[in-house]
Amino acid sequence: IFDNRDVGLSSKCDEGGKPDLMGAILAVQRGDPIEAPYSLDDMADDSIGLLDVLGIEKAHIVGASVGGMIAQTIAYRHPSRVLSLTSIMSTTGNPELPQMTQEAAEVFFLPVPPERDAHIENQVRVGKFVYGSGFPFNEERQRTFAARSFDRCFYPPGVERQMLAIMVHGNMKEKISAIKVPTLVIHGREDPLYPVECGIEIAETIQGSELIIIEGMGHSLPPEVFNLISDAIKRNASKA
């Protein structure tokens, strides 16, 4: 586990400036090209660079949400470095797939409050919205997580630049069809950000994939599913 570029304790790409996310979204909707200071290809290559520094020739790659997109990108860009792939609550980026609802977009893309207490409460609100109805949402657990995250590194421009990287990455459905390693796809039935059809497409595109759809789970990882997910990852890794 490590921090991707531009967030957490990893290097920040300040030279990329503050992106106009709303303008980029509108441009994508119009079919106009957009630019970004870096792409998911770069973020995938960062992962390989880390493996190089650590002296690891091959690895089992696991990613969730945007991390799932990066994991898929690693698998098709660097197939010789990947033993197995697990993609959790992610997507191919295919624009023909169901997209997040207007309500989800309004919740997810609201400006991030810069004040600590306001930010924490906003994260609780967002976390509850995306959680799903099948598992109890623990507000105090989410509040504690949000506080630790804020204190560790609060850096909204990096998150915004990562969102821009997702937008410029485009549809990788054809590219992931070349992935040959054992692949596991996990998705929540109630995911409001990447609807379940997104996970289904990944599994249908990568030959031989195992698909696990978790009823009642949204864009979240409830503690109640930790064992199910970890056991599935180990089972998939054992196929390598």
Q: So where are the chain's domains? A: 14-237
pLDDT per position as a tens digit, 116-167: 999 999 999 999 999 999 999 999 999 999 999 999 999 999 999 999 999 9
8 A C-beta contact, residue 89 and residue 199: yes
Each residue's pLDDT tens digit, 69-121: 999 999 999 999 999 999 999 999 999 999 988 888 888 878 889 999 999 99
d(CA 7, CA 210): 31
User: 91-112 burial string, b = 16+ CB within 10 Å, else e?
Assistant: bbbbeebeebeeebeebeeeee
Contact 220, 127 (CB under 8 A): yes
| 37-60 pLDDT tens trace | 999 999 999 999 999 999 999 999
The CATH class that applies to domain 14-237 reads: alpha beta
Contact (CB, 8 A) for 49 and 81:
no
pLDDT of residue 31: 81
The mean pLDDT of 218-225, rounded to a whole number, is: 98
